[in-house]
Copies of this chain bind each other. A is one copy, B any other.
């Protein structure tokens, strides 16, 4: 069928062609099926949208990028034919029919996802099938390799590569900013790619960005790691495991997190950086991904099993995730607290957790004896070696190596939230704290966030300060304070404990 081209001045990065419903019918294709456009010697497959009225009969509307790709302009005539479905659609249907797929089939799906040959409908059907029917560990290995191998990979030859990953859900998690310099100071190699916040108050990449640039391509990462042994950069700057991002785009609106796909997602990035050894931090808590010790054990078993398929040694550490790590939430506040820890003046819970995880890596890397890793990590921290290494990394990433925790600029507008009653501080809502920090401007306003002033388990009297809110504008501070008073994220328990014996007597 020959149609006249109308170019729409948009570029959406999807190969789409919009036809009048009747033309589509006469071509014999349903909406979201494919046509091949023949433009001179070029041919381009596009997914078809249909419309009753926007595009008249005889016209095919193409977004600017597709038109440019084919060298077509308004008024050109283009020939259209129904295109074959890519074979991976068959494999997706096979997975929907509860069959296991083989290595080549996963490879084909990942390639077609990346080439734009699969529509969102087909990708969603695939992810839904993985969620409903799950994958065997064999299959998970195939998919992980296919995702990692169809993307950029770091080449850090010569030395074994170490890495860590924390499953999400805990605010204030700045342990990477301690672990990377400790591990690198011990002479090991740790190229850490991190994410930015989407729903949290600060991603590790946002926090590190307070100290140095974080966007580097693969070659730059290799250069920095070769020089310093470590890096803390943004994963989005390098094209590691790009198919994973496309699968995540389907998971989020559905709020699903297929178990083995979640494990695959983490490990594909580790495989792509060339990790030989990975420690997985599994924070356990009522608002994290891992809710029970049973779940934590299942995650651990599966991470280790997948690691075996990939030739990566994995160890898992279950940690407490029921409250923020340290006292600071928000990019600049967290960066400051991490520096304080490196300078030796931060709360012990942060140092404690960082040294636990770093210690596991030091033991695995053979620079500490079994059982002595945590102690060795402490030594490196307290001797100032970790701080020196962090400055070296900051410099290599293009930041100011003379930075100190005191030089970090935090939000100038501040308010203290006080306790509305008296009692023991028995819990706090991670989710509410994040909501308040985001209302204050985090992560966009680097200086915005929360600094906790109370300690868990301690007695609090009415009017005692419980946390401070930092903001870069008066308006956002007010919004955050209003929210804090509404949400009351700190849970107090009355001093009833002492009265229990009386009740018992009454019984």
Taking CB atoms, residues of chain B closer than 8 Å to A462 are none
Question: Do A121 and B120 touch (CB < 8 A)?
Answer: yes
Question: Do A93 and B253 touch (CB < 8 A)?
Answer: no
Q: How far is the CB of A500 from chain B (nearest CB, A)?
A: 40
- What is the CA–CA distance of A9 and B113 in the complex, to the nearest angstrom? 29
Taking CB atoms, residues of chain B closer than 8 Å to A61 are 10
- Chain B residue nearest in CB terms to A131: B96
Q: How far is the CB of A5 from chain B (nearest CB, A)?
A: 15
| Segment from A146-154, A191-199, A221-229, A466-474 that makes contact with B | A191-199
Question: Do B30 and A255 touch (CB < 8 A)?
Answer: no
Question: Do B124 and A252 touch (CB < 8 A)?
Answer: no
Is A256 at the interface (CB under 8 A from chain B)? yes
Is A482 at the interface (CB under 8 A from chain B)? no
Add 10 more A-B contacts to A12-B49, A25-B443, A32-B253 (CB < 8 A). Answer: A11-B51, A25-B198, A30-B198, A30-B252, A93-B255, A96-B256, A120-B120, A122-B253, A125-B128, A128-B129
Taking CB atoms, residues of chain B closer than 8 Å to A444 are 26
Question: Do B54 and A252 touch (CB < 8 A)?
Answer: no
* 7 cross-chain CB contacts under 8 A: A26-B444, A33-B253, A85-B253, A92-B254, A121-B250, A128-B128, A128-B129
- What is the CA–CA distance of A28 and B30 in the complex, to the nearest angstrom? 35
Is A438 at the interface (CB under 8 A from chain B)? yes
The verdict on A249 contacting B8 (CB below 8 Å), with A98-B132, A129-B128, A255-B89 known, is no
Taking CB atoms, residues of chain B closer than 8 Å to A85 are 253, 255
The verdict on A26 contacting B443 (CB below 8 Å), with A12-B49, A93-B256 known, is yes
Taking CB atoms, residues of chain B closer than 8 Å to A26 are 443-444
- What is the CA–CA distance of A248 and B66 in the complex, to the nearest angstrom? 27
Question: Do A8 and B11 touch (CB < 8 A)?
Answer: no
| Total residues of chain A contacting the partner, CB 8 A | 52
Q: How far is the CB of A100 from chain B (nearest CB, A)?
A: 15
Taking CB atoms, residues of chain B closer than 8 Å to A24 are 198
Is A167 at the interface (CB under 8 A from chain B)? no
Q: How far is the CB of A91 from chain B (nearest CB, A)?
A: 12
Interface centre among A49, A133, A250, A254 (most CB of B within 10 A): A254
Is A305 at the interface (CB under 8 A from chain B)? no
Is A29 at the interface (CB under 8 A from chain B)? yes
Q: How far is the CB of A195 from chain B (nearest CB, A)?
A: 10
Question: Do B11 and A54 touch (CB < 8 A)?
Answer: yes
- What is the CA–CA distance of A422 and B18 in the complex, to the nearest angstrom? 48
Taking CB atoms, residues of chain B closer than 8 Å to A32 are 249-250, 252-253
Question: Do B12 and A253 touch (CB < 8 A)?
Answer: no
Could you give, for residues 102-125 of chain A, a 1 whenever the CB lies within 8 Å of some chain B CB and a 0 otherwise?
A: 000000000000000001111011
Which of B93, B121, B198 interacts with A29 by CB under 8 Å?
A: B198
Is A286 at the interface (CB under 8 A from chain B)? no
Question: Do A196 and B25 touch (CB < 8 A)?
Answer: yes
Is A158 at the interface (CB under 8 A from chain B)? no
Taking CB atoms, residues of chain B closer than 8 Å to A122 are 253-254
Question: Do A9 and B11 touch (CB < 8 A)?
Answer: no
The verdict on A120 contacting B124 (CB below 8 Å), with A8-B9, A12-B51 known, is yes
Taking CB atoms, residues of chain B closer than 8 Å to A12 are 18, 49, 51, 54
Is A31 at the interface (CB under 8 A from chain B)? yes
Q: How far is the CB of A89 from chain B (nearest CB, A)?
A: 7
Is A366 at the interface (CB under 8 A from chain B)? no
- Chain B residue nearest in CB terms to A245: B31
- What is the CA–CA distance of A28 and B202 in the complex, to the nearest angstrom? 11
Question: Do B30 and A249 touch (CB < 8 A)?
Answer: yes
Question: Do B11 and A254 touch (CB < 8 A)?
Answer: no
Which of B8, B29, B33, B132 interacts with A8 by CB under 8 Å?
A: B8
Could you give, for residues 139-151 of chain A, a 1 whenever the CB lies within 8 Å of some chain B CB and a 0 otherwise?
A: 0000000000000
- What is the CA–CA distance of A10 and B248 in the complex, to the nearest angstrom? 28
Q: How far is the CB of A225 from chain B (nearest CB, A)?
A: 25
Taking CB atoms, residues of chain B closer than 8 Å to A249 are 30-32
